[in-house]
């Protein structure tokens, strides 16, 4: 269901909430550059079915509200334009507001996809709100690879991701020897989204299994 959050700077934003209200483990789920669309709500439902309470904040609300895009080339361009208008400091406040909306007493993690993968990394390095962070194909992580995480982190990348070269992944690996990094041979950007042409069911399944095992371990 949709809820409203208030960030520390007074900004109000929408968020999608799912899962048991008395969950012992909880997640902030961070959107791609397409808004909190049908796919992101589907991701939330899947995590809720595993027993997690989840909140997915609408990060685009800082520049435009009610954004739900598809995956056509024009949607990609539109998503990039919107993302460029949202300040990193604002996204950090928004994910912290989402964390505060999770059940009291639950151990909190963050998982993000695409743009959200980068935001999840920032959640690990720039916030102390999370006990674990997991990022799927976050293109901005390499630029922030020297930041220090305050919680365990797991990262997933596609070998054939045209927007994240393997040189970036290796730079992250070299800078962060304590971070668990998985590369999926032949996989492209967005391999975990079943609404994209780059979707790879076997890789998505394996990455999900690894993500859940990581979260089950770190949020125990």
Q: Cα 102 to chain center, whole Å? A: 16
The dihedral formed by the CA atoms of 38, 107, 178 and 90, expressed in degrees to the nearest 10: 50
**Among candidate residues 204, 27, 61, 38, the one with its CA nearest the CA of residue 131:** 27
161, 168, 193, 203: the active-site residue: 161
- CA-CA-CA-CA torsion sign (142, 168, 33, 96): negative
61, 122, 189, 193: the active-site residue: 189
Q: Are 135 and 118 in contact (CB under 8 A)?
A: yes
Whether 114 is catalytic? yes
Q: Are 40 and 68 in contact (CB under 8 A)?
A: no
For 172, other C-beta atoms within 10 Å of its C-beta total 22
Whether 162 is catalytic? no
56, 114, 134, 151: the active-site residue: 114
Whole-angstrom Cα distance, residue 90 to residue 208?
28
Whole-angstrom Cα distance, residue 97 to residue 102?
9
Q: Are 52 and 23 in contact (CB under 8 A)?
A: yes
- Here the tokens at position 7 are 């960030």
Q: Please give the backbone phi and psi of residue 31, each rounded to the nearest 5 degrees, phi first.
A: -65, 160
Whether 189 is catalytic? yes
Whole-angstrom Cα distance, residue 140 to residue 206?
23
Residues taking part in catalysis? 114, 161, 189
């Amino acid at each position: 269901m949709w809820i409203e959050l208030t960030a520390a700077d007074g900004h109000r934003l929408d968020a999608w909430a799912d899962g048991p209200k008395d969950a012992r483990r909880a997640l902030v789920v961070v959107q791609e550059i397409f808004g909190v669309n049908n796919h992101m709500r589907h991701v939330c439902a899947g995590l809720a079915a595993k027993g997690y309470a989840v909140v997915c904040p609408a990060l685009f609300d800082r520049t435009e509200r009610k954004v739900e895009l598809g995956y056509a080339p024009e949607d990609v361009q539109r998503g990039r334009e919107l993302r460029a208008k949202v300040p990193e400091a604002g996204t950090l406040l928004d994910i912290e507001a989402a964390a505060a909306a999770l059940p009291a007493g639950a151990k909190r993690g963050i998982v993000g996809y695409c743009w959200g993968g980068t935001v999840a990394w920032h959640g690990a390095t720039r916030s102390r709100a999370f006990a674990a962070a997991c990022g799927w194909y976050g293109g901005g992580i390499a630029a922030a690879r020297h930041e220090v995480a305050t919680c365990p982190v797991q990262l997933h990348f596609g070998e054939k991701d045209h927007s994240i070269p393997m040189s970036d992944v290796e730079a992250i690996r070299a800078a962060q020897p304590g971070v668990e990094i998985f590369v999926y041979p032949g996989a492209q950007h967005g391999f975990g989204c079943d609404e994209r042409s780059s979707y790879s069911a076997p890789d998505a399944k394996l990455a999900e299994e690894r993500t859940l095992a990581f979260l089950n371990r770190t949020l125990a």
